[in-house]
Amino acid sequence: MNNAMPREIRLNAFTSQTPVHLSPGLWRHPRDQSRNFKSLRYWTELAQILEEGLFDGVFLADGIGINDVHGGSPDSALRHGAQVPKHDPLLLVSAMAHVTQQLGFGITATLSFEPPSLLARRFTTLDHLTKGRVGWNIVTGYYDSGAKALGRATVTAHDERYEVAEEYMDLVYALWEQSWEEGAVLGDRASGIYAQPEKVHTIHHHGKYFDLDSIHFTPPSPQRTPLLYQAGASRRGRAFAAKHAEAVFVAGPSKRVIAPIVADVRAQAEQFGRNGRDMLFFTLMTVIVGETEAAARAKHEEYQRYVSPEGVLTLFSGWTGTDFSRYPLDAPIVPAEVDSAVASMIESFTVADPGRVWTLRELIAHNGIGGRGPVIVGSPEQVADELLGWIADTDVDGFNLSYAITPESYRDFVEFVVPELQKRGAYKTAYVRGTLREKFTGGGRLLPPSHPAARFRS
């Protein structure tokens, strides 16, 4: 890598429409506004802060279902607001778009549960209304509670979920890329012709999981297919990302965990005939920054006082599938005596101090903020060093930036870190014009010919 000209760091804000996203308990902090997640003004203010900081996008998480691993019921998740309630992220977009010009939107939608023609219409609508600023984070339903909510006995087996997803993608690509030719819409006041029917094609799809005979309900939007995000870390999920994703979200506590995932997905993309460099990787990160290191550390300590241990364990129980309510908080954890999911979680969080014996409470105190990603605490210079180190050592393109408290964490980042990164030539000083895809790839507004969606074009 050329040291004189570091590559541009990409930034998304990683959030969701819940009282707690990745920092349980911090909604009780006096300056935190998480409780306003039901208010439009909270979201439009956040969008404006992010655009002021030239963030590439806001990435809105979602999941259909409730974390009910901890204690075997949703009670703990409810008590701590741990990603429940969870409201529909698609409905935030138009209001946030109204108060911004350039900010992108990465919106999670679960293809396992959404009828394809309706999902396709929703994203086309949003891409129109935002003038091409929309991305779709493709997820498959993984909560059993979500499957039951949708009237199914259990969640579809993991690998088959991806088989369904492949067919689903073919279907929505056909609607987005093939149904309406370029130039189909005339809107010609003189002739009275709105669109040329010979350039609008009925999609006929009869597959293993889906049937459809229809035109797409809406004319093509600026990007046609929204920018495609994906976040699968499993073997099958990585292959899916390598084939379809333009932006990939990864999460892990250390560079050692992230670097091989990035390398693997980029390499797999080449096997699909794509350029692995065309994909942007965002790794989960939380930054606590102040004018000085001391100020940042003081802030961190202050935040930590609000961490909710049970809330943290509820999230970890969901992620690992292990019910942490079974373990005492203050007993030392002997890796050989806990099950493997717990052992590997502990290992991943103790890389900094591998010889130490931890209690669950201590682990929580150190890892209660920012979920499965690292927390960087320091002065603007220290944070910039650390972020650039991550880029250099893992080959990610940027960060999915979580928060300790909101919107303060984002405001601090914009005030302290953005200027420092700009000074180092590692961050844009103005947005590139155009759609989200143009901003991300430097290419056109449509998916490139190497992408599997391109073959659907007439």
Q: Scan residues 29-88 and list those touching another protein (CB under 8 A).
A: 35, 38-40, 44, 64-66, 73-76, 78-81, 84-88
Q: Scan residues 152-191 and list those touching another protein (CB under 8 A).
A: 152, 187, 189
Applying CB under 8 A, the span of 89-97, 292-300, 386-394, 420-428 interacting with another protein comes to 89-97
For position 210 contacting another protein by CB under 8 A, the verdict is yes
d(CA 78, CA 316): 15
Q: Using CB under 8 A, which of 218, 350, 435, 441 touches another protein?
A: 218
Nearer to another protein, 53 or 65 (CB): 65
Nearest approach, Cβ of 68 to another protein (angstroms)? 10
Nearer to another protein, 67 or 379 (CB): 67
Applying CB under 8 A, the span of 12-20, 364-372, 409-417, 434-442 interacting with another protein comes to 12-20
H-helix or E-strand spanning residue 288: strand 280-289
Q: Are 251 and 271 in contact (CB under 8 A)?
A: no
Three-state SS annotation for 366-417? HHCCCCCCCEEEECHHHHHHHHHHHHHHHCCCEEEEECCCCCHHHHHHHHHH
The radius of gyration of the chain's CA atoms, rounded to the nearest angstrom, is 22
Per-position x/- string for 122-141, each x denoting binding to another protein as judged by CB under 8 A, each - no binding: x-xxx-xxx-----------
For position 95 contacting another protein by CB under 8 A, the verdict is yes
d(CA 420, CA 46): 21
Nearer to another protein, 206 or 433 (CB): 206
For position 318 contacting another protein by CB under 8 A, the verdict is no
The residues pairing with 213 across neighbouring beta strands, listed in sequence order, are 204
Number of residues lying near another protein (CB under 8 A): 76
Q: Are 332 and 359 in contact (CB under 8 A)?
A: yes
For position 149 contacting another protein by CB under 8 A, the verdict is yes
Nearer to another protein, 32 or 412 (CB): 32
Nearer to another protein, 220 or 290 (CB): 220
* Residues constituting the chain: 458
* Strand-pair category, 211-214 with 203-206: antiparallel
Q: Using CB under 8 A, which of 50, 93, 384, 387 touches another protein?
A: 93
Nearer to another protein, 117 or 441 (CB): 117
For position 148 contacting another protein by CB under 8 A, the verdict is yes
Three-state SS annotation for 219-253? CCCCCCCCEEEECCCCHHHHHHHHHHCCEEEECCC
